[in-house]
Amino acid sequence: MEPAAARSPSSLDPAVLDRLGGLALVARTVVEGFMAGHHRSPQRGSSVEFAQHRQYVPGDELRRLDWKIFARSDRLVVKEFVAETNFSCHLLVDASESMGFGSLSWSKLQYARWCAAALAHLVIRQRDAAGLVLFDQSVRDKVPPRTGAQQEIEMIHALEQAQPSGATGVGHVLSWVAGRLRRRGIVAVFSDFFAEEEEIVAGMRRLLYGGHEPILFQVLDPQELEFDYTGLLRLEGLEGLGRLLVDPKAIRAAYREELAAHQERLARAARALSCDYVPLVTSAPLDVALSTYLAHRAARARARG
Amino acid sequence: MGVFQGFVHPLLLWGIALCSIPLLIHLLNRRRHKPLPWAAMKFVLAAYKRTRRRVQLENLLLLLLRMAAVAALALAVARPFIGRDSPLAPLTERRRDLVLLLDASASTGYRENAASVFEEMLERARTLLSELDGTRGDRVHLLQCSQATRALSTHTPDDALAALATLTAPRDERLDLALALAEVVDLAEEDAGSTGHSALEVRLLTDLQRNTFLPAPADGAATADASAGDPRLPLRQALDRLGELGVQVVVEDLGPGVPQPPNLGIESVAPLGEVLGAAQASEIAVDVRNFGASGRAGLRVALTIDGVRQPSQKVDVPARAGVQVVFPVVFSEPGFHALVAELESDRLARDDTRAAVVHVPAPLRVLLVNGAPNDELERDEIGFLRAALEPPDDGGLVSSPVRSYSPFVATSVAANAFGGPEADPAAFDVVVVANVAALPAEIVARLESWVARGGALLLTLGDRCADPSALDSLNTRLWRADESGLAPARFVRHVAVASRRGSYFRAATFDATHPALAFFGDERWQAFLTEMPVFEFVACEPLSSARVLARLDDGEKSPLLLERAYDRGRVLLWTSSIDQDWNLFPQFPATFIPLWHELLRYAGTGTLPLRNTPVGGTLELETATFPRRAALVRPDGTRKDLDGEPQQVAEGLWRLPALGALDEAGLWRVESEAPQPIVLACQLEPAEGDLAHLAPEELESSHATWRFRAPGSDEGPDDEPQADRGELWRWFAGATLALLVLETLWAAWIGRGRRLA
C-alpha cells in the first residue's frame, strides 16, 4: 500500500488537468505522474522474457537500463522484453452528445480525452502501437494503430478535434470495429454506454471473437451517479430524448436504482465474457484507467509468454 | 350550503376561495423548474415512470390538506350555524345571547312591600344573570331603560352583574319603550347578519304600566291606526321589526299585583292666572290627581314658597279624579320664586312632591320722551299715556287693593332732556319716543346699543313729524337701507283725511295672535280697536323683517302698528299720534288703556328666561353679573362645578356654560359668586304616577312580539332559554388545526423519504 503522502495528486487530479490545456501536456503529465514510482508496473516480478537490448531514449524507465553494459562500455541501453513488442492498444472514444454532459468544469468527453491521451502516450512510450477511433452512432474519425511519436501527435490531434454530437451507437461501433481491426490487442472503450446493453454485449463478443481484449471504461459524471440536485428541474434530454419536469428528490432513489441496474447488467455481461468493466467518475484521478491498462498488458504478455 | 342554516358572517365565506391559493402556488411552481441538459435521460424516464403515480399521490394529498385547511378556516370565521332539527345539532355549541332590559322609570319606585318594584327587578335581574355561563360564551346586553336607553354592559354576565350593583334607584323619567326596543332592534339586526333571523333572547323587567305599553294616541288620531306623528308608531315599528327578525320580547311583570294601584300625585303647581307683581294678591294652584281606584279623604297638601311653608290644606280627592287646591299668596319681592308642593307620602313618593319656579314681575320702568309738552294733559303729547300708566290719585273715592300698585313706573322727560342723567335709557325697560322729529346722533347710538342689549323702543308720531324735512330727519337717524337702523320702516309721507267730518281711517286688520293685541282678539273687544277713527298718519315702507301688527283701511292698507326685532330687543312703531291730535284713541279709555298697557308690557317684558324643565331637559341661563366659579347643585345637595367658560352675549350679559340634562326632579341651583343663586325646577312627568296596570292578555294581544312571563313561574320545555341555532365554528377551527398538523407531518414525511433517497 503506497503511502498517501507520497502520491502526486496534481498530475492525476482532473481539476488540475483541466487547467493544463493541451492534451499532449496532459498526457505527459498524467503518465509521468502515474509512473513516478507510485504505480508500479504490474510487470514487476512478472516473468517476462528478455528479448533484446536497444538504445536508450529519453523517457525510458531508468530501471530498465542495463547498468552492466553501461559499466563495461559507457553505453546506455535498455532491456526489451518479448511482451513489450508487437503490442497494440486500440482506443475507442465515444464523442456522442451525451458525452458532452458535465456538472464539473469538464465534460465526460474531456475526461475520456485525458484518459485516452494518457494511455496513448503510455502505450507509444512503451513502443507499442496505439490507434484511435472516435465515434458517435458510427465511426466518426480514426487513426490506425502505429508506433512512434508522430502517431501520438496524430492521435492527440484527433482527440482534440472531437466535439460531442450525435446519438450514441456504441454497440454498433464495437461490432463494426471488431471486423476491421487487423492487429489484435487491447480495445479500451471510453463511453457512458447509455445504449442498449444487448448491442454493447454483441459488440464485445465480436471483439472477443476477433481475438481482442475489450475493456469497457464507463465514464460518468458525479451527478449522473448521485442525481443530487435540489429544486425543481426541467431536464432537457441530450441526443433528442425529450424533456421532463421533475422533482429530483422524488425520483432520486428510483433513478439510482435504474442506473445501478444498468451498470450491474454491464458488469455482469462483461464478467460473463471475461472482460473488464471499469466505472470511471469524472471527479476521480485518472490512475484507475492507467492501472487497469497496465494490468491487462502484463496479463497479455504472460499469456503469450 | 344545504347542511348549514346560515352563516353569522356570510361575507367571510368568500374566504373559501382562498383555498385555491395552494393550487395556484402549485401551478406557478411549474414555471420555476430550472432547465438542465441531461445525458442519462433514459434512466430518469424509467425512474419517473416507476414513481410518477406515488409522487403524484403524495403531492395531491399535500395539496388537498392545504386547501382543506384554508377552507376549514374560512368556514370557521364565517361561523356557520344549524337549526335544532339538524342531525349535526349535537355537535353545536348553544351559547345564549341575552338582552336584559330594566325598566328604570320613576313608577318602578312604587313600594308595595319592603322592597320597591325597582329593587325586585334588580334581584330578578341577578337571578337571570346567574343562569348564564360566561365561560361557555354566553353574552348579555344589560340596558337601563327610561327616557333614554343606556347600555350598562355588553359583554359577560360577570360584567353585567358588576354594572347591576351600581344601580340603586330608578330614574325620575318615564320609560320610552319605543327607544328601548329600537336599541334591541339594532342588536338583533347585528346578530341576524344576513340570515334575517336573530337568536337573541330579550327580556324586559318592568311594572307593566299601561300608559307605557299602550301610549295614548296623538290628539285627533284614530285609535286603530298609528299614522306619522303618532307616538304609538315608533313602538309598533320596533315591534314589527323584531317580529320579522324572529325575536320575541319576554315581559316579566314585577309591578304591583293590582290592576289599579293606589297612588296620588301632584300634576302641577303654577300660578292661577297672571301674577301681577310683588305685594299683589296671587293664587298658586296645586293640581292633585288620584290615580287609584279608591277615593282619598282629608289629603293634606302643603306649599312652600322660597322655603317658607304656607298653611297647608286638606282636600278630598275622589278615585281616578283630580282636584285643584288654591293657595292665596302674596309675593313680597319681584323676581323668581321657588315653589314646592307636597302631599303626604304614599307608596310612590316621587310624585308626591313637585317644584316650580314662578316669575313675579317688577313694575315696568317706562321712560316717556315728550316731543310736544304742554301743561294741559289733553294737549300734552304724552298726557293721556302717562295717565294710563300711572292713574292719578282719586282721593280715596275707590277702594281697591291694587290702588297702591301699578305695573308701570313712568318717567317723563322733554325731548331735549333725553339722554341726560335722569333719562338714561339704560335705567328703563321701555322708552317711548313720542312725536320727536329730531334725535341727536349720539342719542340714537345709545338707543341702538340699549335696544340691542334687550331694551324696547316704542316710537309714536305726530305733527312734529309730519313735514317732509322732519320725515327726512327721522329717516336719517332711524332708518338704513341695510335694515340696521332702529325704525321698522322708512317714513314716506304724511297722510290725512280731507275732512274729519266726512271720513276717517280705521284699523281694518290686525294680528290677533300677537301677545300685545290678543286682548282685542276677543270679539267682544275687537271693535274697540277696529272702529277707532284715525285721521292722520305717516305712510311708511316696512322693512322686510318687520311685522305689521295692524293696518289701516286706506287704499294702500298702510301700516298703523309695526314691530321689528333689533338684536335682543325690539322696536315698535305707531304711525299715528299717541295724543288725540291725529286719532281718537285717547278719548276711549276702553281702547287706549288696554292697548298701551299690553303694548308696553309686551315690549318691556321680553322673553322670560325659562326656569322650569321636565326631567331630562336642559336650560340655557344668562346672568347680568359675571358667573365666577359657577356650580350646579342638585336637589339632593350634590354640587358639581360647571365645565367651560361663560360667554358674553351682550354688554352686561353672560351666558353660563351648558348645564347638561337635568335628570332629577326637584329644585336645582346654580351658584356662583353672585349674591343670589339661580333656582331651577325639574319636574316629573305627571303621567308617571298613573300606575294602571296592563293585563297580560292585553299585552300579548297588542302585538305578537310580546310574550308575557310571570317572574319565577315554572317554565315548560318549550320555554327553556335555548338558542334557536347552534354554531359549529369551534369544530371548523379544530379541523383547521388538525389539517395544518397533518399537512406539516405529511410534508415532513415526504421530505424525509426523499432526503434519505
CB contact under 8 A, A98 and B39: yes
pLDDT surpassing 90 at residue B185 = yes
Q: Which of B31, B36, B54 to mutate to test the interface with A (most CBs of A within 10 A)?
A: B36
Q: What is the mean pLDDT of chain B?
A: 88
What is the DSSP code (8-state) at residue A97? G
Comparing CA positions, the residue from B437, B462, B699, B489 lying closest to residue B578 is B462
Does domain B264-361 fall into CATH 3.60.15.10? no
Q: CA-CA distance, B532 to B553, in Å (whole number)?
A: 12
Q: What is the mean pLDDT of chain A?
A: 81
B173-187, B587-601, B648-662, B694-708: least confidently modelled range: B648-662
Q: Tens digit of pLDDT for each residue in B740-755?
A: 899 899 888 887 776 6
Give, in order, the Cα–Cα distances in Å from A214 to each of A82, A138, A198, A297. Answer: 22, 18, 16, 12
State the pLDDT at residue B141.
Answer: 94
Least CB–CB distance from B48: residue in A221, A236, A246: A246
Q: In chain B, what are the domain boundaries? A: 6-32+40-87+730-756, 95-218+227-256+694-722, 264-361, 364-393+404-566+581-597, 612-683
Question: Is-same-fold flag (B364-393+404-566+581-597; B612-683)?
Answer: no
Chain A closest CA to B18's CA: distance in Å? 25
Chain A closest CA to B22's CA: distance in Å? 17
Give, in order, the Cα–Cα distances in Å from B266 to each of A211, B262, B615, B677. Answer: 140, 14, 15, 26
Work out the average pLDDT over B273-290. Answer: 89
State the pLDDT at residue A50.
Answer: 59
Look up residue B755 and give its three cell numbers: 432526503
- Overall residue count recorded for chain A in this entry: 305
3-state secondary structure B348-373: CCHHHEEEEEEEECCCEEEEEEECCC
Helices assigned H by DSSP within B141-251: 157-164, 177-192, 210-213, 232-244
Least CB–CB distance from B36: residue in A97, A194, A233: A233
Q: CA-CA distance, A226 to B43, in Å (whole number)?
A: 12
Confidence of residue A60 (pLDDT cuts 50, 70, 90): confident
Q: CA-CA distance, A195 to A187, in Å (whole number)?
A: 18
Proportion of chain A in helix, strand, coil states, percent, rounded to 5: 50, 20, 30
3-state secondary structure of A146: strand
Confidence of residue B134 (pLDDT cuts 50, 70, 90): confident
Confidence of residue B447 (pLDDT cuts 50, 70, 90): very high
Chain B closest CA to A204's CA: distance in Å? 22
Fold of B364-393+404-566+581-597: Rossmann fold (3.40.50)
CB contact under 8 A, B755 and A235: no
Q: How many CB atoms lie within 10 A of CB A70?
A: 13
3-state secondary structure of B244: helix
Helix axes of A170-178 and A197-209: crossing angle, nearest 10 degrees? 10
CB contact under 8 A, A236 and B754: no
Distance of CA B276 to the CA centre of its chain: 31
Look up residue B351 and give its three cell numbers: 310624585
Helices assigned H by DSSP within B193-327: 210-213, 232-244
Q: Tens digit of pLDDT for each residue in A74-86?
A: 888 887 665 444 5
B139-148, B226-235, B469-478: least confidently modelled range: B226-235
Q: Is the dihedral of CA A283, A287, A292, A297 positive or negative?
A: positive
| Amino acid at site B596 | W
State the pLDDT at residue B399.
Answer: 57
Least CB–CB distance from A234: residue in B34, B45, B48: B34
Q: What is the DSSP string of A123-143?
A: HHHTT-EEEEEEESSSEEEEE
State the pLDDT at residue B395.
Answer: 61
State the pLDDT at residue B220.
Answer: 53
pLDDT surpassing 50 at residue A45 = no
B18-32, B107-121, B291-305, B537-551: least confidently modelled range: B18-32
State the pLDDT at residue A9.
Answer: 40
State the pLDDT at residue B564.
Answer: 95
Comparing CA positions, the residue from B705, B708, B723 lying closest to residue B238 is B705
> Is the minimum CB–CB distance between B51 and chain A shorter than 8 Å?
yes
pLDDT surpassing 70 at residue B31 = no
Q: Tens digit of pLDDT for each residue in B332-351?
A: 899 999 999 999 989 999 99
Comparing CA positions, the residue from B413, B367, B410, B370 lying closest to residue B388 is B410
Confidence of residue B651 (pLDDT cuts 50, 70, 90): confident
Confidence of residue A42 (pLDDT cuts 50, 70, 90): very low
Look up residue A87 and give its three cell numbers: 503490442
Query: With contact defined as beta carbons under 8 Å apart, do A117 and A78 qualify?
Result: no
Comparing CA positions, the residue from B643, B641, B635, B646 lying closest to residue B669 is B635
CB contact under 8 A, B37 and A101: yes
Chain B closest CA to A224's CA: distance in Å? 7
Q: Tens digit of pLDDT for each residue in A252-299?
A: 999 999 999 999 999 999 989 988 888 999 988 877 777 777 777 677
State the pLDDT at residue B306.
Answer: 94
Pick the residue with more confidence: B515 or B392? B515
A79-93, B12-26, B205-219, B471-485: least confidently modelled range: A79-93
Helix or strand run (H / E) with residue B472:
helix B468-478
pLDDT surpassing 90 at residue A100 = yes
Query: With contact defined as beta carbons under 8 Å apart, do B629 and B641 qualify?
Result: yes
Confidence of residue A38 (pLDDT cuts 50, 70, 90): very low
Q: Which residues of B609-630 are buried (b: 16+ CB within 10 A; e: fewer)?
A: eebbbbbbbebebbbeeebeeb
Q: CA-CA distance, B105 to B346, in Å (whole number)?
A: 17
| Amino acid at site B262 | P
CB contact under 8 A, A249 and B37: no
Q: CA-CA distance, B481 to B490, in Å (whole number)?
A: 9
pLDDT surpassing 80 at residue B459 = yes
Q: Tens digit of pLDDT for each residue in B398-433?
A: 555 554 567 889 999 999 888 888 888 888 999 999
Residues 188-217 of A with CB under 8 A from B: 192, 194
- For domain B95-218+227-256+694-722, give the CATH number: 3.40.50.410
State the pLDDT at residue B117.
Answer: 95
Q: Tens digit of pLDDT for each residue in B46-68?
A: 999 988 888 889 888 988 999 89
Q: CA-CA distance, B403 to B76, in Å (whole number)?
A: 89
State the pLDDT at residue A4.
Answer: 34
Q: How many CB atoms lie within 10 A of CB B508?
A: 13
Q: With contacts defined as CB-CB under 8 Å, which chain B residues touch A281?
A: none
Chain A closest CA to B49's CA: distance in Å? 9
pLDDT surpassing 70 at residue B83 = no
CB contact under 8 A, A255 and B42: no
Chain A closest CA to B62's CA: distance in Å? 14
Query: With contact defined as beta carbons under 8 Å apart, do A119 and A293 qualify?
Result: yes
Helices assigned H by DSSP within B317-420: 383-389
The predicted model scores a pTM of 0.60
Least CB–CB distance from B50: residue in A233, A249, A254: A254
> Is the minimum CB–CB distance between B33 and chain A shorter than 8 Å?
yes
Rounded to 5°, the CA angle B626-B629-B630 comes to: 80
pLDDT surpassing 90 at residue B275 = no
Query: With contact defined as beta carbons under 8 Å apart, do B149 and B137 qualify?
Result: no
CB contact under 8 A, A251 and B48: yes
3-state secondary structure of A11: helix
State the pLDDT at residue B426.
Answer: 86
A122 CB contacts (<8 Å, ≥6 apart)? A31, A34, A35, A290, A293, A294
3-state secondary structure A199-268: HHHHHHHHHHHCCCEEEEEEEECHHHHHCCCCCCEEEEEHHHCCEEEECHHHHHHHHHHHHHHHHHHHHH
pLDDT surpassing 90 at residue B549 = yes
Look up residue A84 and give its three cell numbers: 513489450
Q: Which of B33, B750, B755 to mutate to test the interface with A (most CBs of A within 10 A)?
A: B33
Q: Is B556 exposed, middle or buried (0-12, 13-18, 19+ CB in 10 A)?
A: exposed
Comparing CA positions, the residue from B612, B689, B680 lying closest to residue B266 is B689
Comparing CA positions, the residue from B533, B571, B527 lying closest to residue B552 is B533
Q: CA-CA distance, B500 to B509, in Å (whole number)?
A: 21
Least CB–CB distance from A247: residue in B41, B45, B55: B55
> Is the minimum CB–CB distance between A250 and chain B shorter than 8 Å?
yes
Chain A closest CA to B736's CA: distance in Å? 28
Q: CA-CA distance, B633 to B672, in Å (whole number)?
A: 11
The CATH homologous superfamily of the domain defined by B612-683: Immunoglobulins (2.60.40.10)
pLDDT surpassing 70 at residue B541 = yes
Look up residue A102 and give its three cell numbers: 458535465
Q: CA-CA distance, B1 to A85, in Å (whole number)?
A: 93
Q: Tens digit of pLDDT for each residue in B243-263?
A: 999 999 999 999 988 889 999
Most confident of A243-247, B511-515, B707-711: B511-515
> Is the minimum CB–CB distance between B527 and chain A shorter than 8 Å?
no
Most confident of A204-213, B70-79, B87-96, B534-543: B534-543
